[in-house]
């Protein structure tokens, strides 16, 4: 609860796109477990702050603030849209919903290659909305498939289908899932290398955070697809969770400051957070375990 108090002020933060991560993963879960009017107000204010970063010319939510001639949107931003859907349900204000779907449509149009792999960063012209550049920041190269970026996209478009029931979002999520699961460089234990095109595979570092996010997404996506595909997605997620639960990827209880998962890769090109525990690795691992437990009861 101490950290929740520290986080409260972020509801008015209009300088970041990560309000979905910051506020919905914290106050959103708190509001589900023990609803409070204060939590609801904080989340609505957070959605309003996030909505200020949407530009109707670009038809997307700005991710990183940058030079005025650039408008940067990253694939991670798909994870923040769930907060906007929640805000429309609670307030009845459809503008949040419209921003979320518009952003997702722009992302489908510009972030993805024909094989359903995604770029990390799209740089738009803020005056016209035209694409100026497609590149990566945290992946190996501009044309590589950064593993956590693929996971963010998979999770984000699974949420899009849940919230809208629009089949194009289901098709997008399936395409991303199939790209990842059928990729020749996906290891047998299903924990991806930090980039699917890292040059030193099989000696490249793994990114356990990508596996945690992917397993959580697959355990939802498997409920929306035909039986044969559902079994494939469930089995892949199960293998990921078994791997993450093994001594290879999980810290012994009570060690390492309470972190659960080893071998996360934050920003390899920048040399930061290399082969370390990451908060979001733990978060999505726990979410995946919860989903797995619920599905296993059925």
Q: Tell me the three-class secondary structure of 147-208, residue by residue.
A: HHHHHHHHHHHHHHHHHHCCHHHHHHHHHHHHHHHCCCCCCCCCCCECECCCCCCCCCCECH
Per the annotation, the verdict on 189 as an active-site residue is: no
Q: How many helices (H) and strands (E) does the chain have?
A: 11, 7
Domain assignment of residue 276, yes or no:
yes
93 with 197, same domain: the answer is: no
232 with 281, same domain: the answer is: yes
pTM of the entire structure? 0.97
Domain assignment of residue 23, yes or no:
yes
101 with 24, same domain: the answer is: yes
Whether the pLDDT of residue 283 is over 90: the answer is: yes
The set of residues, in sequence order, having a beta carbon less than 8 Å from that of 103 and lying 6+ positions away, is: 54, 59, 60, 61, 77, 78, 81
Averaged pLDDT for residues 102-112: 98
The CATH number of whichever domain residue 175 belongs to comes to 1.50.10.10
179 with 242, same domain: the answer is: yes
pLDDT tens digits, 243-280: 999 999 999 988 888 899 999 999 999 999 999 999 99
pLDDT tens digits, 147-159: 999 999 999 999 9
Q: Which of 99, 140, 103, 97 is nearest to 122 (CA)?
A: 103
Domain assignment of residue 2, yes or no:
yes
pLDDT at residue number 297: 83
- Annotated catalytic residue within 76, 195, 207, 282: 76
221 with 112, same domain: the answer is: no
- Annotated catalytic residue within 18, 93, 166, 275: 18
36 with 163, same domain: the answer is: no
Per the annotation, the verdict on 76 as an active-site residue is: yes
Q: How many domains are there within the chain?
A: 2
Range of the domain at 291: 142-298
178 with 231, same domain: the answer is: yes
181 with 47, same domain: the answer is: no
111 with 149, same domain: the answer is: no
44 with 175, same domain: the answer is: no
pLDDT tens digits, 6-22: 999 999 999 999 999 99
8 with 40, same domain: the answer is: yes
């Amino acid at each position: 609860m101490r950290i929740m108090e520290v986080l409260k002020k972020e509801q008015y933060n209009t300088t970041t796109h990560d309000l979905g991560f910051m506020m919905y993963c914290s106050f959103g879960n708190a509001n589900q477990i023990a609803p409070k009017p204060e939590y609801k107000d904080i989340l609505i204010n957070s959605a309003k702050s996030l909505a200020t970063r949407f530009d109707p010319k670009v038809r997307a939510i700005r991710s990183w603030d940058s030079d005025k001639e650039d408008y940067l949107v990253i694939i991670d931003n798909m994870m923040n849209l769930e907060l906007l859907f929640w805000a429309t349900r609670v307030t009845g204000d459809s503008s949040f919903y419209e921003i979320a779907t518009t952003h997702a449509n722009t992302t489908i149009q510009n972030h993805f290659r024909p094989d359903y792999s995604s770029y990390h960063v799209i740089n738009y012209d803020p005056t016209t909305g035209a694409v100026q550049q497609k590149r990566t920041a945290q992946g190996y190269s501009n044309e590589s498939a950064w593993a956590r970026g693929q996971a963010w996209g998979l999770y984000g478009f699974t949420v899009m289908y849940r919230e809208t029931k629009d089949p194009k979002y289901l098709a997008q999520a399936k395409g991303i899932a199939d790209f990842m699961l059928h990729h020749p460089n996906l290891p047998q234990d299903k924990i991806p290398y930090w980039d699917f095109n890292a040059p030193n595979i099989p000696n490249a570092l793994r990114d356990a955070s990508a596996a945690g996010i992917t397993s959580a997404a697959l355990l939802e996506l498997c409920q929306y697809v035909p039986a044969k595909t559902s079994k494939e997605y469930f089995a892949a997620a199960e293998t990921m969770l078994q791997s993450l639960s093994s001594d290879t990827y999980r810290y012994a209880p009570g060690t390492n400051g309470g972190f659960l998962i080893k071998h996360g890769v934050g920003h390899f090109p920048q040399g930061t957070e290399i082969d370390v525990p990451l908060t979001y690795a733990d978060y999505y691992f726990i979410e995946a375990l919860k989903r797995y437990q619920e599905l296993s009861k059925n």
